[in-house]
Amino acid sequence: MAQFYVNQNQQTGGEHEVHVEGCNFMPFEKNLLDLGGHTDCSSALEVARNTYDVVNGCEHCCPSCHTT
Residues within the interface to Zn ion (CB under 5 A)? 19, 23, 25, 58, 60-61
**Taking the mean position of all CA atoms in its chain, how far away is CA 20?**
7
**For Zn ion, the closer CB: 14 or 25:** 25
Work out how close the CB of 40 gets to Zn ion at its nearest, in angstroms, rounded to a whole number.
Answer: 15
Q: What does the DSSP 8-state code read for residue 63?
A: G
Query: Which residue of the chain is nearest Zn ion when measured via CB?
Result: 58
Burial classification of residue 50, based on how many CB atoms lie within 10 Å of its CB (0-12 exposed, 13-18 middle, 19 or more buried): exposed
Work out how close the CB of 53 gets to Zn ion at its nearest, in angstroms, rounded to a whole number.
Answer: 20
The span from the CA of 52 to the CA of 10, in Å, is 9
Work out how close the CB of 66 gets to Zn ion at its nearest, in angstroms, rounded to a whole number.
Answer: 9
